[in-house]
């Protein structure tokens, strides 16, 4: 049988990526977590190379299964507290905290014309 849902190159890529993640997955029977068994970064989060770019597995999983492309300003926080987990339903999307970035910049221009 010819499956015409798999003629779209993007859909094929998505299915291949899912399979690549499944190959490195160990399901925790207690929590249902999808534990990554492949390479991890220094924070203990799973990572994988896609098209020459290293990406975090839990963020990729959100795109693949939930169809959401995370912005740089968004964090994916595992509600199960398991760093190795990449189960897309265990991820909560949160905005990055304000402490990192723009609010740190202090304006000093006001002093320029003094005296």
Nearer to Zn ion, 8 or 89 (CB): 89
13 or 26: CB nearest Zn ion: 26
Location of structure tokens 């190795």: 84
Residues in the chain: 115
* Alpha carbon distance 105, 65 (integer Å): 38
Burial, 50: exposed, middle or buried (Cβ in 10 Å; 0-12, 13-18, 19+)? Answer: middle
Instruction: Find the binder of Zn ion among 48, 82, 88, 91 (CB under 5 A).
Output: 82
User: Does the footprint of Zn ion cover residue 58 (CB under 5 A)?
Assistant: no
Residue 64's alpha-carbon distances to 19, 59, 61, 104, in angstroms, are 11, 9, 5, 35
Q: Which range, of 17-25, 55-63, 83-91, 92-100, touches Zn ion by CB under 5 A?
A: 83-91
Q: Which residue of 21, 33, 48, 91 would you call a contact of Zn ion, by CB under 5 A?
A: 33
Position 87 contacts Zn ion (CB under 5 A): yes
* Residue 25 · residue 34 · CB < 8 Å: yes
Question: Which of 21, 48, 61, 85 is close enough to bind Zn ion by CB under 5 A?
Answer: 85
Q: Write out the residues near Zn ion by the rule CB under 5 A.
A: 33, 80, 82, 85, 87, 90
């Amino acid at each position: 049988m010819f499956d015409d849902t798999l003629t779209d190159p993007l859909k094929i890529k998505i299915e291949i990526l899912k399979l690549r993640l499944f190959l490195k997955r160990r399901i925790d029977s207690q929590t249902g977590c999808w534990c990554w068994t492949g390479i991890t970064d220094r924070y203990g989060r799973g990572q994988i190379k896609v098209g020459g770019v290293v990406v975090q597995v839990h963020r990729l999983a959100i795109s693949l299964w939930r169809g959401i492309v995370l912005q740089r300003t968004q964090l994916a926080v595992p509600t199960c507290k398991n760093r190795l987990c990449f189960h897309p339903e265990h991820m909560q999307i949160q905005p990055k905290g304000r402490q990192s970035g723009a609010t740190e910049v202090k304006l000093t221009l006001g002093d320029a014309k003094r005296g």
